[in-house]
Amino acid sequence: MFANKPWTSRLSLIVLAFVALALAGCRTSQPPEVKTNPAVQTNNQPDARAVAEKPSLAGRIENVSMYPVPNRSEDLAVSVVVSITNAGAPSTAQGWSLEVSSSGHPTPTVVEAVHVNGIVEMPGTKGQTVDLGKEDLALKTARVPIGNGGAVKGILTFVLSKTSEKSLSNNNASVTVRFKDSRGTLYQTPKTVIGGKASKS
């Protein structure tokens, strides 16, 4: 009976060895899998969330000239040299009007621009003539958009009925030119006092 003990011990050792090998076989020698984010794809299309750039126009009155309307001496023509700049998206300029404010009239007078043909003296100059048909700012800005960083200058003409230059000067009148961009946003120039220099509104 005791003579079989060494064989039993050897059998036990063999069984333990097989168990150890079986456990070792369950382990993997490969490193754990590492997940990475997929490659980022570049997209040249604009971000839909980005806000589209808008026009940013600005206008300034450079000179004002007033004279009686031919064959209508009771009415006053006002020719204005205006420069327009754009710091935003390309846009046309349109809807030109003149607002006249004076101490003699509590409510400002607003008139639309009129197209006039003919060669006249350049407002604010002596002896320098200009072709109103070619330098009409309303026509210039309606045909060709003003680009970013661009500028354009031209003449606008307005007619004030039953008004004289003297009455405007005596009532400290001032004029402002209004206009719109292609999106309908309203702009206006700084006020210019009749017979004076442009001032901020």
Domain containing 114 — which CATH number?
A: 2.60.40
Residue 36 lies in a domain: no
Low-confidence ranges of the chain (pLDDT < 70): 1-52, 124, 195-201
Residue 50 lies in a domain: no
Residue 164 lies in a domain: yes
For the chain, the three-class secondary structure string (H helix, E strand, C coil) is CHHHHHHHHHHHHHHHHHHHHHHHHCCCCCCCCCCCCCCCCCCCCCCCCCCCCCCCEEEEEEEEEEEEECCEEEEEEEEEEEEEEECCCCECEEEEEEEEEECCEEEEEEEECECCCCEEECCCCCCCEEEHHHHEHHHHHHHCCECCCCEEEEEEEEEECCCCHHHHHHCCCEEEEEEEECCCCEEECCCEECCCCECCC
Residue 67 lies in a domain: yes
Q: What is the pLDDT of residue 70?
A: 86
Residue 188 lies in a domain: yes
For residue 122, what are the domain limits?
57-193
What is the number of domains present in the chain? 1
